[in-house]
């Protein structure tokens, strides 16, 4: 019983706060970088207006060349949310202070 209760509490505490489309839109309107971390093929099939495409598997290698300041807010998205979550962790590890993970591109609606 105790083990079950501890597991439920740990899982509940580990959940990231929910980000709404409104939060993401407001951040972009205020100057946040909108970053699409899908493949170039996925990006060419459709993307959010104003988004920069840097595939998550290339993010580490290309981030410094982009010249984005650590204090600039970044909104990341992908197809399902897995790659954007990975990108968020990578950017935070590089010192980016505020990264909003929109998750799936469809969450923008």
- Kindly write down the DSSP assignment for every residue of 16-53, as one continuous string: PPP--HHHHHHHHHTT-EEEE-S-HHHHHH---TT-EE
Q: How far apart are CA 97 and CA 45, in angstroms?
A: 31
Catalytic residue among 59, 78, 87, 96: 78
Whether residue 13 lies in the annotated active site: no
Q: Is 36 exposed, middle or buried (0-12, 13-18, 19+ CB in 10 A)?
A: buried
Q: Are 101 and 84 in contact (CB under 8 A)?
A: yes
Catalytic center residues? 78
């Amino acid at each position: 019983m105790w083990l079950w209760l501890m597991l439920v509490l740990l899982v509940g505490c580990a959940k990231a706060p929910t980000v709404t489309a409104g939060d993401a839109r407001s951040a972009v309107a205020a100057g946040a970088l909108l970053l699409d971390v899908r493949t170039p093929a996925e990006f060419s099939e459709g993307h959010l207006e104003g988004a920069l495409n840097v595939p998550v598997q290339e993010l580490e290698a290309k981030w410094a060349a982009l010249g984005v300041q650590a204090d600039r807010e970044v909104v990341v998205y992908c197809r399902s949310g897995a790659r954007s979550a990975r990108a968020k962790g990578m950017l935070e590890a590089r010192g980016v202070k505020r990264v909003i993970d929109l998750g799936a591109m469809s969450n923008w609606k």
